[in-house]
Structure 1
Amino acid sequence: MGCAPLQLRTATPDDLEWIFEARHRVYAQELGQHAVDPTGRLSDGLDGDNVYLVAARGPDRMGFVSVTPPWLGRYALDKYLTRDELPVLNDDDLFEVRILTVEPRWRATAAAPLLMHAALRWIAARGGRKVVAMGRTDLLDMYLAVGLRRAGRTVRSGAVTFEVLTGRVTELTQRAMSRYGTTLERLRSEVDWRLDMAFAPRPDGCEHGGASFTAIGTDFRTLHRRRQVVAADVLDAWFPPAPGVRAVLAEDPAWMARTSPPTGAEGLLSEISAARALPTETLALGAGSSDLIFRAFGHWLTPESRVLLTDPCYGEYAHVTERVIGCRVDRFRLRREENWRIDPGRLSAAVESGRYDLVVIVNPNNPTGRHVRAAELRSLVAAAPSRTRWWVDEAYLGYAGPSESLAGLAATSERVVVCTSLSKMYALSGMRAAYLVAEPDVAARLRRRTPPWPVSLPAQLAAVAALRDPAYYEDRWSRTHVLRSELAAALAELDPEVEVEEAVANFLTLTLPPGGPSAARLVTECRRHDVYLRDLSPLSPLYQGRAVRIAVKDTAENARIVAACRAALAVLRPGPAPVRSTRASVHAR
């Protein structure tokens, strides 16, 4: 196959000319799907809006594949079938994969599997969950072998008959890794991968934050790097824990390290009970909210369970329900034009059918930062079918105010459970301490599924000390709002086409303009300056691959974030910014 490296890239202008010529050679001259054109080129109305991925070896272009994202509002299949005939075309998370094409001399190579792998990775990196494609009937076995399924429709184009095929991205990825994993792993070190996402998915399939720790060093040999890295890709507090927390952790660390904690964290339970005015029998503890999510959902849900998640939403919920348990998951789509707010009327209508075993609400939401008033949530719960349980994640509630908690309702209702992490609000992310509030019988059943010593001794001591100093944290939370607004204003000055959205929590969102650099490119470029931001694209196709979440830091680190974004945009969008009548917008929501 030659010595030149095999390259995967998005199409360049020169590539497009070759693509149009190759399409004509294959689909007009070779297959007779289209009439022969005197120009020797074949293109269609989607060109310019869809994305072409190209495989090349040195100067030789091997093949290409086209991906059409849902935010265009149209697909190639629209030419053949109506939305009533193929309802899947109405889904907001559907990407169309089409015209996978390999030049004849390269058809016996790994070009086709690599292009399909690249398409799936590109789609997953933009939050895609489903794909649709047209597969030639004479090659149907090949398409079915990679995990695509018949949609029950065939279409004819010229001399070629196609079967309409669909599939879920996670299942297709797993099948591809199983079928071609050895080949892909062998090629990983050989491929010049120029796409804006990782070559392979994470082993667990969940795109967590926290890439900044790879820069610090996960082997802990270069911890001095923590002073150089701005970790704005995770939502850890910008401030240190309360003085009492620091004092108790410093008093006798050797004793804390070697000593087993109270078996059931009785002291911490008592402190939470007093601080939140909740009976201890309504509480269950965990080593962070993820521990509680995995334990509770694993207890309540089965593959037959139906779950409703907001979209976008904290990615751990989709991971646990879809990938770990295998539930049937529906999405309640939030809308940018509604400022990402949950519309109570729409949500109530979605839930009223009674088909959901669990509805998950993150409040304030991560990653939008939007908050639903407690009174509205109470009304939604009251109007919902009695069989539906509500899980309310209040990890960032302190930024909205403690009166907005539904913990009191959860303590008396079997239909509501409130999960609260002590990590983000109390600067204890490294301690891993969280609790949930539920009706006593519900809480007791979860406590029975809790192993002894669920929270470490340092974490118990730190959490107790933190809860005893509410004044310190209220001051820090108030200061966070100021820092967030200052950061938003500074970011908005960078480019007139950049949109900055802030809400109530300790983070904001920066959205790049259509046709500009992807969020992934911005994130990568900022890392050159040791500034780590979170690409939101994998969480939802509603972000269109253009949104970045930025955690609020202190004044000095916020200045570094702004400087890194300025430098990155100068590289990614060289030349003077386009002149517009309005400057970049900051939405305080």
Structure 2
Amino acid sequence: MSPDLQLRTATPDDLDWIHELRHRVYAEELGQHAPDPAGRLRDGLDGDNVYLVAARGADRMGFVSLTPPWVGRYGLDKYLTRDELPLLAEADLFEVRILTVEPRWRATAVAPLLMHAALRWIASRGGRRVVAMGRTELLAMYLAVGLRPIGRTVHSGAVTFEVLTADVAELTKNAMDRYGTTLERLRSTVDWRLDMAFAPRPDGCEHGGAFFTAIGTDFRSLERREQIVAADVLDAWFPPAPGVRAALTQDPGWAARTSPPTGAEGLIAEIAATRSLPAETLAVGAGSSDLIFRAFGQWLTPESRVLLMDPGYGEYAHVTERVIGCRVDRFRLRREDGWRIDPARLSAAVASGRYDLVVVVNPNNPTGRHAPAAELRAVIAGAPAGTRWWIDEAYLGYADLDESLADLAATDPRVVVCSSLSKMYALSGMRAAYLVAEPAVAAQLRRWTPPWPVSLPSQLAAVAALRDPAYYRECWQRTHTLRKQLAAKLAELDDSLLIEESVANFLSVTLPSAGPSAARLVAECRRHDVYLRDLSPLSPEYQGRTVRIAVKNTAGNARIVAACRAALKVLRPGPPAASPSAVPAVGSAR
């Protein structure tokens, strides 16, 4: 492969070649379609399909077609009804079609690279399952990459196809396990013009903190920290309470060298007093992720079935699907419903008792919506006795701490409430969190908690923070004002932008369908040292067009608006997509 091999999204100039190549291969060569006098073969989904093209200079080598679920129809609809193929009704299904390579490039790596690009594009848009029609004579190639027949055969002209499907996560793992070395070698030969990273993260979970790459993760210098606007993670814009800063600076040498209380007894006592909870209902950890991994690892197996909100915080999908290997279903939240959790629909979803665990982040990250406590209590009360509920209240302070379900969790063994001190108390760097559970459940988790689970500086900071509720209430109120101001300024940039506020310390911006992708906006803003979060990998509901922005102080928000203004000015004409170095996969730490 030549170093100038390019992979890109098709431009308008590519479409005539795509129609001409499609005619040569599928009409003249294979006899799938009748020849057309114009020598062009078009497709009914041409206006909705996404085409990825491999080219070298002006020489186009091949393409692959993708149909995302938000189009509402697939190529397979021409051959099979939804009753015959229920898979087509799934909300996160992407169809891969018409992988076509010019004859002289068929013995090269063009086809594998196009398949890899298609998989990366789908994963970057939150796709979890693919469906494809594979020519029977090429079935071995499709099986080798991890696609599997579902027992349906389709005939089109002189060509017979097998209907194939696979999970995106399984395809990705198979590709990296079997072809990772080859792909890494090919990476240096490809001019990757697509708006997602060439390869997934090694651990498979997209996390945030991309801004730290601009500061330097080796910590040799932190000078850049004041130049970066880290709006891709939901860290608080305000500093921790004065008492926290005093506790950390009183004797930092002693705090660094001294072992903390083994079981964080003082921290647990402070949480119990602040939240009016019995101490025996509490367990602490180094951030909510620590508690999630520990608890889920105890409760769940690959045979467990879990229900997650979608869109929802990505850590839960990572732990349940990729770490434990559970059977995971999604409860779809829809923009047209205001991202609201419909209690009647949720009650119906869990009524069968099939779920071992239901996870509700409330307020939800990334939608920013809060489900009233009374509604959740009613749903839980009517749920089967064997269904456990995990309620994540990491952002509840921004809504109303009185809405907590902690009192229910303290008495009902089916319910656990998890609360991070990171986002509400400006302690993200400290890594402190707690969960509330019925005493026997909490005791079981404490038995599986190692000694010294929270560092001494973290315990000192958390205790001091909990002792100053007035300071934080003022900060939370100020956050609402700043968020509204930021939303108003972003709305002024372009009438086609959809600005959705949350009840917490972030908002989202959705770009128009004819505009640039969220990934390209994120990449362009980074040129101005402003880091935003592309929500696309979390759910197909975002259609690759939505970014989440953390609220900052007045100066930080002004820089966010300025960066978005400059980025949109560059992106509106539709220039070539950004390079992969500018668009690494990003996520959200907790």
Q: Is the pair's TM-score, using the shorter chain for normalization, greater than 0.5?
A: yes
1:238, CA displacement in angstroms?
0.2
Partner of 2:272: 273
Map 1:124-163 onto structure 2 (within 5 A): 124-163=123-162
Partner of 2:60: 61
Partner of 1:44: 43
Letter of the structure 2 residue corresponding to residue 156 of structure 1: H
Does 2:192 align with 1:209? no
Letter of the structure 2 residue corresponding to residue 307 of structure 1: V
1:58, CA displacement in angstroms?
2.5
1:486, CA displacement in angstroms?
0.5
Do the aligned partners of 1:287 and 1:454 also contact (CA within 8 Å) in 2?
yes
Do the aligned partners of 1:282 and 1:439 also contact (CA within 8 Å) in 2?
yes
Partner of 2:230: 231
Partner of 2:585: none
1:285, CA displacement in angstroms?
0.6
CA distance in structure 2 between the aligned counterparts of 1:7 and 1:514, rounded to whole angstroms: 25
Q: C-alpha offsets along residues 477-523 of structure 1, whole Å, 9 cap, x if unaligned?
A: 01000000000011001001001000210000100011111000100
SS in 2 for 1:39: coil
SS in 2 for 1:234: coil
CA distance in structure 1 between the aligned counterparts of 2:223 and 2:281, rounded to whole angstroms: 42
Do the aligned partners of 2:125 and 2:540 also contact (CA within 8 Å) in 1?
yes
Does 2:423 align with 1:428? no
SS in 2 for 1:520: helix
Partner of 1:97: 96
Map 1:276-295 onto structure 2 (within 5 A): 276-295=275-294
1:104, CA displacement in angstroms?
1.3
Partner of 1:580: none
CA distance in structure 1 between the aligned counterparts of 2:24 and 2:204, rounded to whole angstroms: 39
Do the aligned partners of 1:147 and 1:175 also contact (CA within 8 Å) in 2?
yes
Map 1:394-433 onto structure 2 (within 5 A): 394-433=393-432
Map 1:299-314 onto structure 2 (within 5 A): 299-314=298-313
CA distance in structure 2 between the aligned counterparts of 1:180 and 1:410, rounded to whole angstroms: 47
SS in 1 for 2:407: helix
Q: C-alpha offsets along residues 172-195 of structure 1, whole Å, 9 cap, x if unaligned?
A: 111112222111100112211000
Partner of 1:579: none
Partner of 1:457: 456
Do the aligned partners of 1:8 and 1:56 also contact (CA within 8 Å) in 2?
yes
Partner of 1:564: 563
Do the aligned partners of 1:4 and 1:58 also contact (CA within 8 Å) in 2?
no
CA distance in structure 2 between the aligned counterparts of 1:333 and 1:450, rounded to whole angstroms: 34
Do the aligned partners of 2:3 and 2:188 also contact (CA within 8 Å) in 1?
no
Does 2:536 align with 1:537? yes
Partner of 1:585: none
CA distance in structure 1 between the aligned counterparts of 2:158 and 2:50, rounded to whole angstroms: 26
CA distance in structure 2 between the aligned counterparts of 1:371 and 1:209, rounded to whole angstroms: 23
Moved more, 174-183 or 558-567: 174-183
Letter of the structure 2 residue corresponding to residue 324 of structure 1: V
SS in 1 for 2:512: coil
Partner of 1:112: 111
Do the aligned partners of 1:281 and 1:443 also contact (CA within 8 Å) in 2?
yes
Do the aligned partners of 1:265 and 1:455 also contact (CA within 8 Å) in 2?
yes
Q: C-alpha offsets along residues 339-362 of structure 1, whole Å, 9 cap, x if unaligned?
A: 000000100000101000000000
Partner of 1:81: 80
Moved more, 533-542 or 566-575: 566-575
1:393, CA displacement in angstroms?
0.1
Q: C-alpha offsets along residues 438-489 of structure 1, whole Å, 9 cap, x if unaligned?
A: 0000000000000000000100000000000000000000100000000001
Normalized against structure 1, the TM-score is what? 0.97
Moved more, 209-218 or 458-467: 209-218
CA distance in structure 1 between the aligned counterparts of 2:534 and 2:150, rounded to whole angstroms: 33
Do the aligned partners of 2:93 and 2:129 also contact (CA within 8 Å) in 1?
yes
Does 2:382 align with 1:350? no
Letter of the structure 2 residue corresponding to residue 187 of structure 1: L
Q: C-alpha offsets along residues 247-268 of structure 1, whole Å, 9 cap, x if unaligned?
A: 1111111111111111111110
CA distance in structure 1 between the aligned counterparts of 2:453 and 2:187, rounded to whole angstroms: 40
1:59, CA displacement in angstroms?
2.4
Count of aligned positions? 574
1:320, CA displacement in angstroms?
0.3
Normalized against structure 2, the TM-score is what? 0.96
Does 2:391 align with 1:383? no
Do the aligned partners of 1:113 and 1:180 also contact (CA within 8 Å) in 2?
no
Greater relative contact order: 1 or 2 (C-alpha under 8 angstroms, separation 6 or more)?
A: 2
CA distance in structure 2 between the aligned counterparts of 1:177 and 1:432, rounded to whole angstroms: 32
Q: C-alpha offsets along residues 102-124 of structure 1, whole Å, 9 cap, x if unaligned?
A: 11111111111111110000000
1:87, CA displacement in angstroms?
0.4
Do the aligned partners of 2:311 and 2:539 also contact (CA within 8 Å) in 1?
yes
SS in 1 for 2:316: helix
Partner of 2:21: 22
RMSD of aligned alpha carbons: 0.9
CA distance in structure 2 between the aligned counterparts of 1:531 and 1:222, rounded to whole angstroms: 19
Moved more, 332-341 or 172-181: 172-181
Letter of the structure 2 residue corresponding to residue 436 of structure 1: L
CA distance in structure 2 between the aligned counterparts of 1:352 and 1:99, rounded to whole angstroms: 42
1:574, CA displacement in angstroms?
4.2
CA distance in structure 1 between the aligned counterparts of 2:569 and 2:425, rounded to whole angstroms: 37
CA distance in structure 2 between the aligned counterparts of 1:464 and 1:160, rounded to whole angstroms: 70
Does 2:364 align with 1:370? no
Do the aligned partners of 2:282 and 2:434 also contact (CA within 8 Å) in 1?
yes
Does 2:204 align with 1:220? no
Do the aligned partners of 1:487 and 1:558 also contact (CA within 8 Å) in 2?
yes
SS in 1 for 2:353: coil
1:142, CA displacement in angstroms?
1.4
Which segments of structure 1 move beyond 3 Å, counting only runs of 4 or more?
none
Q: 1:454 to 1:4 in 2, by over 3 A?
A: closer
Letter of the structure 1 residue corresponding to residue 4 of structure 2: P
Partner of 1:325: 324
Q: 1:4 to 1:387 in 2, by over 3 A?
A: closer
Partner of 2:248: 249
Do the aligned partners of 2:312 and 2:361 also contact (CA within 8 Å) in 1?
yes
CA distance in structure 2 between the aligned counterparts of 1:297 and 1:95, rounded to whole angstroms: 30
Moved more, 221-230 or 118-127: 221-230
1:4, CA displacement in angstroms?
4.8
Do the aligned partners of 2:498 and 2:511 also contact (CA within 8 Å) in 1?
yes
Moved more, 51-60 or 566-575: 566-575
Do the aligned partners of 2:3 and 2:189 also contact (CA within 8 Å) in 1?
no
CA distance in structure 1 between the aligned counterparts of 2:258 and 2:224, rounded to whole angstroms: 30
CA distance in structure 1 between the aligned counterparts of 2:181 and 2:318, rounded to whole angstroms: 25
For structure 2, the residue ranges without an aligned partner over 5 or more in a row are: 575-590
CA distance in structure 1 between the aligned counterparts of 2:96 and 2:414, rounded to whole angstroms: 42
Moved more, 36-45 or 437-446: 36-45
Does 2:578 align with 1:551? no
Letter of the structure 2 residue corresponding to residue 77 of structure 1: L
SS in 1 for 2:330: strand
Q: C-alpha offsets along residues 114-155 of structure 1, whole Å, 9 cap, x if unaligned?
A: 111100000000000000000011111211111111111111
Q: 1:160 to 1:456 in 2, by over 3 A?
A: same
Do the aligned partners of 2:3 and 2:190 also contact (CA within 8 Å) in 1?
no
Do the aligned partners of 1:419 and 1:435 also contact (CA within 8 Å) in 2?
yes
Moved more, 100-109 or 73-82: 100-109
Partner of 1:524: 523
CA distance in structure 2 between the aligned counterparts of 1:4 and 1:72, rounded to whole angstroms: 35
Do the aligned partners of 1:261 and 1:453 also contact (CA within 8 Å) in 2?
yes
CA distance in structure 2 between the aligned counterparts of 1:426 and 1:499, rounded to whole angstroms: 30
CA distance in structure 1 between the aligned counterparts of 2:27 and 2:507, rounded to whole angstroms: 50
Letter of the structure 1 residue corresponding to residue 275 of structure 2: R
